[in-house]
């Protein structure tokens, strides 16, 4: 986090910029209205990022002595105005954290931008001689200024709208350590600046497929230039290395793809192999300057290659091999190569970060968290781009604190707006947090920059969660028109048919292959659908099949997840003996956060206070910052326990923590369900009806889980309490229609039929 200085008075954070001299707050370049006093308080916080600024410090600096009596209320009002301008909140702060009775702390990452330099006017001379001399000097200064202006404002060879393809280096040294390694190093150097946009490896892979070229085809200058033209890029960069005695000569050349015109060149020499990477950094900086990048940008985004990656050529070579294997979707091989890079250089932050991600995908080379934690510790040994990305991934994947990962992704998308990855990660984070409109906007931008199966798939899911089913179909149509099959499209089409009660459509999707589905997913979807219809026996049979499919694939975490879902559906349908047995069978064999969170809720629903408390305490201790733990699993379990103890008011209070995330997909509207049950227990019918109606109105979030059907039963009970018999009767009829083929011995069904009979 950069510390502001007297010469850096514009501070960027997230999508905002604060000009401390002009006293202006801007969002995405648009000036926001913020009064003087709130802006002064914001300035003090920005000048002391990540530090506690006490209320007394603020009073002494900004409040006159005669306003001391009203200071507390005045400061509270002022901070609220800042939060309103930033879209922040005291309950779940992204920018300003309140420390009760102490003060405030600015918690988002900040970046101090250099202010424009100004020149002081010269004093006028008194004598004629001095005046004439001054005129001559002025002419010289004007000419020098004009020369400087035209030099530094000459038309750049490329603009920020242009894209670049990097070819493989021509290696005439005979040393294989340079093969692929120098291209990887050059790409890292070029990617760290917002001025350039390097075409990503996955984009090149997609284009090679369309060209019917081998995916591992050497990217010769000729092939790179053809790729450049096909992908509507502008510049192809070629590199070379040659040995001259003990020296190495590196050359870089940038070429206009369309015309073949040479745009800029750079050549440097290195005294020995150990100096090659520093020399490559020097050549890259020279080329960037010649292509038109400003001195300010070069100064800000020019971390030397040996700092941004590694001082070891062999480690960089192993990392490059991992990147190539990742492009071929060979995840175990990629993880092995990243692990080798880490072994060669334990301080290689990028390799640790990549190995952490691959450990989660390929389940090899140790826990994901260990490597991401190490990458986070080493994040200052990277470029600004990687530092922000590692910080975001650390919060997202290690502490599981989505709120604190969000500002890093927002800053990445602001600084590097032409890079699709920050937009995808931003969209994913918004989606998990239930901020679906913002997620759709970010994912749409990611698709504009680099359409991919993953982007289209997540965008379709996001529209589904907003109940915008037309947009789901349109997203899939657009992807397929580009010969891209959206990720999880078959599963999505099955759920779309379900919420539209299209039985034929569901059967059609089940008959098709689900290429992206993990083992057991198809069976689990059918288990959920059966539980929605009250067919618990069939649901448990499908769940057992899902567990068997996962077990045969040796994926223990997903096995635990399937058993937790089996237990949850069983508990919700009133068979707590079986649900508790399901939990006991799993609880000691998993450390998966989500599985344990849902199991805590199951035990709480079934009245096992001691078991639920043990799980809750474990989650609090191991994941104190997790968004899911703090805002879903703990308050939901606490609410269920309070309901079991006959304290509906305490249950409602516990669920107040979930309000920012009530519609977040992972929690599937359970806060509404529990809150509705609490209002029923408190004999507040209309309040209960509003909660159950929210579940019914958001079928894209609830999907085919049983709380969707049970919401109709809850609605009937709520309207009965409110004295609206007609609406109550309709709600009961809707529920009984959904459960027309339900297991006849379910206590929930028997009770519902008895209640409905009394309304006739």
Q: pLDDT higher for 282 or 5?
A: 282
Task: Assign 3-class secondary structure to 476-507.
Answer: HHHHHHCCCCCCCHHHHHHHHHHHCCCHHHHH
> pLDDT tens digits for 205-258?
878 887 888 877 888 989 989 888 888 888 999 999 999 888 999 999 999 988
Highest mean pLDDT range out of 50-59, 127-136, 698-707? 698-707
> pLDDT tens digits for 82-119?
988 888 888 778 788 888 777 888 888 787 775 443 33
Q: pLDDT higher for 360 or 396?
A: 396
What count of other Cβ atoms lies within 10 Å of the Cβ of residue 22?
11
User: Quick one: pLDDT at residue 553?
Assistant: 60
Q: Which candidate, 272, 275, 233, 271, places its Cα nearest to that of 255?
A: 233
User: Where, residue-wise, is CATH 1.25.40.10 in the chain?
Assistant: 318-394+402-497, 518-624, 641-760
Q: Does 149 score more than 50 pLDDT?
A: no
- The architecture (CATH level 2) of 518-624 comes to Alpha Horseshoe (1.25)
User: Where, residue-wise, is CATH 3.40.50.10610 in the chain?
Assistant: 164-304
- The architecture (CATH level 2) of 318-394+402-497 comes to Alpha Horseshoe (1.25)
* Chain position carrying tokens 């050349």: 253
Q: Are 412 and 419 in contact (CB under 8 A)?
A: yes
CATH 1.10.10.10 fits 10-113, yes or no: yes
User: Quick one: pLDDT at residue 573?
Assistant: 95
DSSP assignment, residue 395? I
Q: For residues 739-755, give the mean pLDDT.
A: 96
> pLDDT tens digits for 555-571?
444 445 567 889 999 99
Using a 10 angstrom Cβ sphere, with 0-12 exposed, 13-18 middle and 19 or more buried, the burial of residue 152 is: exposed
User: Where, residue-wise, is CATH 1.10.10.10 in the chain?
Assistant: 10-113
User: Quick one: pLDDT at residue 2?
Assistant: 45
Q: What's the fold here for domain 641-760? A: 1.25.40
> pLDDT tens digits for 355-369?
887 765 544 434 567
pLDDT band, very low/low/confident/very high, at 523 (cuts 50, 70, 90): very high
> pLDDT tens digits for 175-202?
999 998 999 999 988 888 888 888 888 7
Q: For residues 321-337, give the mean pLDDT.
A: 83
User: Quick one: pLDDT at residue 71?
Assistant: 61
Q: Does 141 score more than 80 pLDDT?
A: no
Classify domain 164-304 at the CATH superfamily level.
Answer: ABC-type transport auxiliary lipoprotein component (3.40.50.10610)
User: Quick one: pLDDT at residue 408?
Assistant: 93
Q: β-pairing, 235-244 with 164-171?
A: parallel
Give CA–CA dist 454/458, Å, rounded. 6
> pLDDT tens digits for 423-444?
999 999 999 999 999 999 999 9
User: Quick one: pLDDT at residue 150?
Assistant: 31
Q: Dump the DSSP string for 621-640.
A: HH-TT-HHIIIIIHHHHHHH
Mean pLDDT, the chain, rounded, equals 84
Give CA–CA dist 670/695, Å, rounded. 9
User: Quick one: pLDDT at residue 153?
Assistant: 37
């Amino acid at each position: 986090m950069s510390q502001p200085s007297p010469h850096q008075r514009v501070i960027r954070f997230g999508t905002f910029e604060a000009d401390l001299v002009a006293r202006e707050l801007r969002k995405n370049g648009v000036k926001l209205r913020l009064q003087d006093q709130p802006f002064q308080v914001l300035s003090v916080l920005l000048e002391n990022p990540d530090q506690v600024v006490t209320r007394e410090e603020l009073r002494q600096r900004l409040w006159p002595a005669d306003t001391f009596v009203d200071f507390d209320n005045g400061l509270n009002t002022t901070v609220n105005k800042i939060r309103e301008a930033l879209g922040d909140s005291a309950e779940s702060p992204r920018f300003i954290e309140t420390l009760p009775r102490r003060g405030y702390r600015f918690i988002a990452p900040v970046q101090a931008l250099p202010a424009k330099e100004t020149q002081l006017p010269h004093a006028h001379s008194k004598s004629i001689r001095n005046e004439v001399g001054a005129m001559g000097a002025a002419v010289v200064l004007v000419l020098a200024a004009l020369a400087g202006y035209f030099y530094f404002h000459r038309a750049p060879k490329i603009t920020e709208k242009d894209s670049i393809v990097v070819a493989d280096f021509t290696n005439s040294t005979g040393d294989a350590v340079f093969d692929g390694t120098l291209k990887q190093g050059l790409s890292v150097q070029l990617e760290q600046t917002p001025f350039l946009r390097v075409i990503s490896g996955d984009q090149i892979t997609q284009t090679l497929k369309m060209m019917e070229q081998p995916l591992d085809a050497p990217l010769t200058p000729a092939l790179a230039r053809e790729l450049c033209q096909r992908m509507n890029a502008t510049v192809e960069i070629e590199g070379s290395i040659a040995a001259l005695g003990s020296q190495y000569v590196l050359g870089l050349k940038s070429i206009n793809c369309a015309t073949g015109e040479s745009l800029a060149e750079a050549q440097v020499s290195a005294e020995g192999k150990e100096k090659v990477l520093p020399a490559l950094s020097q050549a890259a900086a020279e080329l960037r300057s010649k292509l038109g990048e400003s001195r300010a940008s070069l100064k800000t985004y020019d971390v030397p290659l040996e700092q941004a990656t590694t001082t070891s050529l062999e480690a960089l070579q192993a990392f490059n091999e991992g990147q190539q294997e990742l492009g071929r979707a060979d995840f175990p091989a990629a993880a092995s190569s990243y692990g080798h890079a880490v072994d060669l250089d334990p301080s290689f932050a990028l390799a640790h970060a990549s190995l952490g991600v691959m450990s989660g995908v390929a389940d090899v080379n140790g826990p994901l968290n260990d490597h991401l934690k190490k990458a986070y510790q080493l994040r200052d040994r990277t470029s600004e781009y990687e530092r922000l990305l590692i910080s975001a991934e650390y919060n997202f994947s290690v502490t599981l604190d989505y709120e604190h990962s969000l500002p890093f992704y927002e800053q990445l998308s602001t600084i590097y707006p032409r890079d699709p990855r920050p937009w995808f990660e931003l969209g994913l984070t918004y989606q998990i947090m239930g901020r679906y409109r913002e997620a759709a906007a970010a994912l749409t931008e990611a698709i504009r920059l680099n359409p991919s199966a993953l982007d289209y798939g997540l965008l379709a899911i996001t529209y589904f969660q907003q109940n915008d089913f037309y947009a789901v179909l349109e997203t899939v149509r657009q992807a397929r028109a580009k010969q891209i099959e959206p990720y999880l499209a078959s599963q999505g089409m099955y759920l779309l048919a379900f919420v539209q009660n299209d039985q034929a459509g569901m059967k059609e999707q089940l008959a098709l292959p689900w290429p992206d589905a993990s083992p057991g997913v198809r069976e689990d979807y059918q288990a959920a659908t059966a539980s929605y219809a009250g067919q618990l026996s069939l649901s448990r049979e499908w769940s057992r099949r899902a567990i068997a499919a996962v077990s045969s694939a040796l994926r223990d975490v997903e096995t635990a997840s399937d058993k937790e879902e089996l237990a949850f559906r069983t508990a919700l349908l009133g068979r707590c003996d079986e649900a508790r047995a399901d939990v006991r069978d799993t609880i000691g064999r998993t450390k998966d956060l989500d599985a344990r969170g849902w199991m805590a809720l199951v035990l709480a629903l079934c009245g096992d206070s001691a078991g639920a408390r043990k799980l809750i305490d474990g989650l609090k201790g191991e994941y104190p910052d997790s968004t899911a733990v703090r805002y879903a699993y703990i308050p939901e379990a606490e609410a269920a326990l309070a309901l079991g103890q006959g304290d509906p008011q305490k249950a409602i209070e516990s669920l107040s923590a979930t309000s920012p995330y009530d519609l977040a997909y992972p929690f599937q509207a359970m806060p509404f369900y529990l809150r509705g049950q609490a209002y029923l227990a408190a004999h507040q019918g209309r309040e209960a009806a509003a909660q159950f109606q929210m579940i019914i109105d958001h079928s894209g979030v609830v999907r085919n889980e049983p709380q969707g059907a049970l919401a109709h039963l809850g609605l009937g009970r709520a309207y009965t309490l409110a004295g609206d018999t007609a609406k109550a009767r309709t709600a009961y009829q809707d529920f009984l229609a959904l459960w027309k083929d339900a297991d006849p011995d379910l206590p929930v069904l028997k009770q519902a039929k008895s209640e409905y009979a009394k309304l006739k």
